[in-house]
C-alpha cells in the first residue's frame, strides 16, 4: 500500500496562476488537484486526452467547446480530448477540483 499526505505534493508552475499539484501520475491516468481563488480561471486550452473534473468545493462555470455550465460541489464534468475548455471561479470562495486525465498525456496541453 502506498499513502501520501496532500501537503507532500509540490505546487507546479503553470500559466494559469493557480495552485496546481499532481497527486497521482501513472501511465494509465494522471490526477491533479487545482485550487482557483475567487475571480480567477484556468485559461482556455486543449488537452490531448480525455479529461474529467470533479468539483470538491466552491462554485463556478465551465466552458467546453461552445457550451457553458454552472458547476458546484460534487459535480463531475466530462471534457473530450482536443476540445477547448476552461473553468472560471465566479464564486466567493476558492474553487477546488480534481482533474483526471486518461491515459496520462505524453504531450502538454496547449493554450488557445
* Confidence (pTM): 0.94
For residue 16, is it within any domain? no
Cβ within 8 Å of residue 80, ≥6 positions away = 50, 64
Q: What is the mean pLDDT of residues 69-88?
A: 98
What is the rounded average pLDDT for all residues in the chain?
Answer: 97
Rg (CA), the chain: 13
The domain tally of the chain equals 1
- pLDDT 10s digits, 15-59: 898 999 999 999 999 999 999 999 999 999 999 999 999 999 999
Alpha-carbon span 26 to 89, nearest angstrom: 29
> In terms of residue numbers, what domain contains 29?
21-111
What are the respective helix, strand and coil percentages of the chain, to the nearest 5?
5, 50, 45
**CATH number of the domain to which 94 belongs:** 2.60.120.10
For residue 26, is it within any domain? yes
Amino acid at each position: 500500500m502506498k499513502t501520501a499526505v496532500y501537503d507532500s505534493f509540490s505546487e507546479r508552475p503553470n500559466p494559469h496562476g493557480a495552485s496546481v499539484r499532481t497527486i497521482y501520475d501513472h501511465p494509465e491516468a494522471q490526477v491533479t488537484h487545482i485550487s482557483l481563488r475567487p475571480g480567477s480561471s484556468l485559461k482556455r486550452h486543449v488537452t490531448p486526452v480525455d479529461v474529467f473534473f470533479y468539483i470538491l468545493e466552491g462554485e463556478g462555470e465551465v466552458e467546453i467547446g461552445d457550451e457553458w455550465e454552472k458547476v458546484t460541489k460534487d459535480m463531475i464534468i466530462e471534457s473530450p480530448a482536443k476540445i477547448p475548455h476552461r473553468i472560471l471561479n465566479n464564486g466567493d470562495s476558492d474553487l477546488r477540483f480534481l482533474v483526471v486525465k486518461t491515459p496520462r498525456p505524453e504531450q502538454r496541453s496547449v493554450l488557445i
